[in-house]
A and B are shown apart, each in its own frame.
Chain A
């Protein structure tokens, strides 16, 4: 389905973010991408829909090489790829419904999107998707009135509104609490299974990746250093990905930080 061939990205500053990444993601497979910060996870998935321009290699989605397309054709091909973001990236001042319908922007002409006159089947489909992610009664609320988990559900519905053939998911749970994180991951995996959708999921939470992913790719300094099923992700493999440092200590550090952040947020909320 998706085939990356020798994908590379070197920034103008000379920093090499990715080098010679070759991967194949078959239909229906959910692939987790793990690695330390700065390993190039985010760059990798952005090179696929060219929010970041790759500097080497090919991105084959079916028979189309996305890396070589002109602007117009790129926009048409982007419709085939749904993307879900870390901080949800919803348009906060628009309603939930408008956010879901924005997934159709690649299909409708400007005047329709400007006047919010979407074709009836798009609107029916949007309601169906909102129902699927459990937000039917929130359709007319503004996106910034929702909680984190609800916003991410809207993000999922927006990506699905594109009727994509591939999902790119960038740290879907990084701003969510552990319980909500699991709910969102479960929803994502269910939806992918229902539709036979392949997905690439950037995820820094290794246990979560092991629990939900069918395959795990480890990235370190822009190179693939691990590729296999979650069971093969041994201590040695993790050391290979995260470096010589004790990754347990790192995970503990992460947890502490998340705790401190949650505490700070609670304090802010108490103030407001």
Chain B
């Protein structure tokens, strides 16, 4: 046990706490603003793209709608996406596409697919079969069956899940920034590296604020949509 190191650490910890208590929004404001814009863009685009890709995969991964081969393929894609944690994918994609928000966008889109497609597929498998049977009995095609019997039953939950995923993606964007995938996480990382704990404190407060706004906003929106 090296007490000198503990003392140094304590002192650094104290400076960190002090910095957090007296956040400095002003001196690095342009960096913070840039990081925030990157993060929010990344969050929104990756959620939209992720959900759009998730819908066909989720339909394909529903046992009651897809043929066997398609089912196994789509479940495979979901399994891969869910098996890899965001940070691991981010490290990998940063190595492939270089530092910056593009790697972050790809990471979050990929993670969104595993999340939304799985929950959508499970939801489709639990629909009321009688409604699907009735639509099938009218001579409807497969597309009409999905549009008339499945979509009305799963849509409200799909919207709720997408909003929830938007929320998760923003939080994740702060984390994956630390491994180089751009956004507010990268700004936070830089601030800590420069021992600018007052700026880091400001960034953390902004993240907490945005997550809270997203939380209340999405629950309000969900209530409104139902």
Binding site for B on A (CB under 8 A): 49, 51, 75-79, 81, 83, 85, 87, 89-94, 98, 102-107, 110, 113-114, 155, 158, 162, 168
Contacts and interface: CB of A to CB of B under 8 A. Distances in A.
Contact of A102 (B141, B148, B156): B148
The 5 closest A-B pairs by CB, nearest first: A106-B139, A105-B140, A78-B139, A89-B134, A93-B152
Given A105-B148, A113-B148, A93 B136 contact: no
Nearest to A162: B138
Contact of A76 (B139, B143, B149): B139
B130 A79 contact: no
Given A91-B148, A94-B148, A105-B148, A110 B141 contact: yes
A217 to B, nearest CB: 21
Nearest to B145: A105
13 contacts: A75-B140, A85-B130, A89-B134, A91-B149, A93-B156, A98-B148, A102-B148, A105-B141, A105-B148, A110-B143, A110-B144, A114-B144, A162-B138
B155 to A, nearest CB: 8
Interface string B119-137: 0000000001011011111
Nearest to B130: A89
Nearest to A80: B139
A180 B152 CA distance: 28
Given A102-B148, A110-B144, A114-B147, A91 B135 contact: yes
Given A110-B143, A114-B147, A91 B138 contact: no
A83 B136 CA distance: 10
Given A92-B131, A94-B148, A110-B143, A51 B137 contact: yes
Interface string B98-114: 00000000000000000
A51 B149 CA distance: 15
Interface residues on B, range: 20 to 34
Interface of B: 128, 130-131, 133-141, 143-144, 147-149, 152-153, 155-156
Given A79-B138, A102-B138, A106-B139, 14 more contacts: A76-B139, A85-B134, A89-B133, A91-B134, A92-B131, A92-B152, A93-B152, A93-B155, A103-B138, A105-B141, A105-B144, A110-B143, A113-B140, A114-B147
A119 to B, nearest CB: 15
A162 B141 contact: no
Contact of A78 (B128, B131, B137, B152): B137
A94 B140 contact: no
Contacts of A155: 134
Given A91-B152, A93-B152, A102-B148, A83 B143 contact: no
Of residues B128, B130, B138, which shows the largest number of chain A Cβ atoms within 10 Å of its Cβ? B138
Contacts of B155: 93
B140 A102 contact: yes
Contacts of A90: 131, 134
Given A102-B148, A105-B148, A110-B143, A89 B131 contact: yes
A263 to B, nearest CB: 25
B68 to A, nearest CB: 15
Contact of A93 (B130, B137, B143, B153): B153
B133 A106 contact: no
Contacts of A83: 134, 137
Contacts of B128: 92
